[in-house]
Amino acid sequence: MSAQRSQTLEAPLTSVGAALLARIENGTACVGTLGMGYVGLPLCVEFASAGLPVIGFDLSSEKVEALNRGRSYIGDVASERLRPLVESGKLQGSTDFERLAACDAIVICVPTPLGKTKDPDLSMVVEATEAIAARLRPGQLVVLESTTYPGTTEELILPRLQERGLKVGQDFFLAFSPERVDPGNKRFGTRNTPKIIGGVTPSCLSVAQALYRRAVDTVIPVSSPQAAEMVKLLENTFRSVNIALVNEIALMCDRLGVDVWEVIDAAASKPFGFMPFYPGPGLGGHCIPIDPFYLSWKLRTLNYRARFIELAGEVNSEMPEYVCERVASALNDRERSVKGSRILVLGVAYKRDVDDVRESPALDILKLLEARGAGVGYHDPHVASLALDGHTLRSEDLLPAVRQADIVLIVTDHSAYDYEEIVDNARLVLDTRNATRGLVSPKVLKI
C-alpha cells in the first residue's frame, strides 16, 4: 500500500484525538487563527459561518478593533457578512495570545516574505509557533497555512511543539494546508476552493480533514506535509514560469514589430495544448513573485540549481525597467525626455480591482521614473495613498491628472476605468495590460 493511500484511510485515534474529533463534529471546537489578513479573516468567517466559535489573533490592535466592530478591512469579506457573526459571538478578535490555550484548533496564517537576498524569512512563523508552543496542551490541532519551503512543518514547527514532551499524533496534531486565496476573485473563495491537507501522521490528517470539512466544500488529502507544501509551490511556480515566457515573447514581438496581444489571442483559439498567459509590467502580490524562490532556496541546500525558476524570476523582475524604457522611447519620439516630463501611472495595486500593493510592479516603475527625473503621480480607485522611498503619494483626481500628463501609463487594469474616456483626454498612453483593447488611436501604445 502506498504512503498516500495509507494517509487517506481513517486513522485510529487516541482518546485525546477522539475527544477533539467529537468537538469538531458537534461544533463546539474553538478555532484560533493567527494572522487576520487576506487569508486569516476569510477563513475565520467560513469557520464561524459553519457554527464553530472562532478567535482571530493579530498583533495589530487596529485590525482587531475593526473586527470586533464587525467592520471588514478585506475586500473579499463584506462587512454585512462579518457583522452578524461578531454580534452572535461566533467570531471575535484578540491581541491576547494567552487565549490560545482555550483553542482546540489553531491555524497559522502569517506572512512569509523573502529577505533582501531572496532567502525565506520565516521569523513570523517561528514567533507564531513559539507562542503556540508555550501554551500547547493535549487535544489541540495546529495547522500551518503560510506558504513556505517543503519540510518547514516537520523541520521547523514540529520540534518546537514537542519540546515540552507532548507527542504528535497522540497528544496534539499537526498538519499543513496551503492557502489558496486569490484576492478579488468573484468566482472562487475560501469555501469553494479545494483544500489540500497533509498531516504529520495519519491521525493528524484525520483530525485536520474533519476541521476543514466544516468550512470548505472539497478537502483533498496528500501523503505528507511536505507534499502539501510542494503543491503550493508548484502552483505558483507554474504561473511564474509561464508569465516569464510570455513576457519574453512580448520582448521578442517588440523587436519583430509584431503585436503580442494579437499573437496570444490567435494562439488561444487552439482548443488543446495551449493555455493563454499574458504579459505585463511585472509580477506582484505576496505569492507569485515570492513562492518560487522558496523552492529555489530549498533546492540550493540540496546542491541543486532550479534553473527555470531563477530564469523566470530574472525575466519577470526586469519588466519594470523595460516598461520605463518604453516610456522613454515614446516620449523621445515626441521630442521630450523623461526628465521634466509629467507621468501618470494608472493603477498601483498588484492586480485588477484589489487594494493590495504588496510587490506591485507599479512601485518599481514609479521609483525608476522618479530616479530619471520625471514628475510622477498616480491614480488608483482602490489605493488612496502610497509610501514611496520616504515620501507619500496620494491618488490624484483622474481626468485632470490625465489631461496634465505627458504620458499616461496603464499598469493595473482596474475595471472601474473608462478607458475610452482616458484615451480621449490623454496626450499619449502606454498600455501594459491591453486594457485599451478595441480602441484605435495613434495616441495608444502597448507593450
Model confidence pLDDT, tens digit, residues 11-55: 689 999 999 999 999 999 999 999 999 999 999 999 999 999 999
> Domains in the chain, start-ordered, CATH in brackets?
3-227 (3.40.50.720), 240-446 (3.40.50.720)
Mean predicted confidence (pLDDT) in 419-437:
97
**pLDDT score recorded for residue 10:** 56
- 83-116 pLDDT, tens digit each: 999 999 999 999 999 999 999 999 999 999 887 7
Query: Residue 170: exposed, middle, or buried by beta-carbon count in 10 A (0-12, 13-18, 19+)?
Result: middle
Cell digits of residue 210: 474533519
On whether the CB atoms of residues 219 and 199 are closer than 8 A, the answer is no
The partner residues of 408 in beta bridges, in order of sequence, read: 344, 429
**pLDDT score recorded for residue 429:** 98
Query: 103, 204, 253, 287: which is the annotated catalytic residue?
Result: 287
Q: Which pLDDT band, with edges at 50, 70 and 90, does 9 fall under?
A: very low
pLDDT exceeds cutoff 60 at 66: yes
pLDDT exceeds cutoff 50 at 8: no
Among 1-15, 66-80, 83-97, 433-447, the range scoring the smallest mean pLDDT is: 1-15
On whether the CB atoms of residues 378 and 346 are closer than 8 A, the answer is yes
How far apart (Å, rounded) are the C-alpha atoms in residues 55 and 359? 29
The partner residues of 444 in beta bridges, in order of sequence, read: 429
Please report how many Cα atoms fall inside a 13 Å half-sphere around the Cα of residue 332, on the Cβ side: 6
- 346-377 pLDDT, tens digit each: 999 999 999 999 999 999 999 999 999 999 99
Q: Which pLDDT band, with edges at 50, 70 and 90, does 2 fall under?
A: very low
On whether the CB atoms of residues 447 and 432 are closer than 8 A, the answer is yes
State yes or no: is 287 an active-site residue.
yes
**pLDDT score recorded for residue 286:** 75
Cell digits of residue 110: 502569517
Q: Which pLDDT band, with edges at 50, 70 and 90, does 184 fall under?
A: confident
Query: Parallel, antiparallel, or unpaired for β 444-446 and 429-431?
Result: parallel
Which candidate, 131, 108, 112, places its Cα nearest to that of 123?
112
How far apart (Å, rounded) are the C-alpha atoms in residues 49 and 410? 39
AA identity, residue 396? E
- In percent, how much of the chain has pLDDT > 70? 98
CA angle 65, 69, 70 (to 5 degrees): 120
CB within 8 A of 343, min separation 6: which ones?
327, 369, 374, 375, 376, 377, 405, 406, 407, 409
Measured between alpha carbons, how far is residue 300 from residues 119, 151, 236, 238, 337 in Å? 11, 14, 19, 19, 44
DSSP 100: G
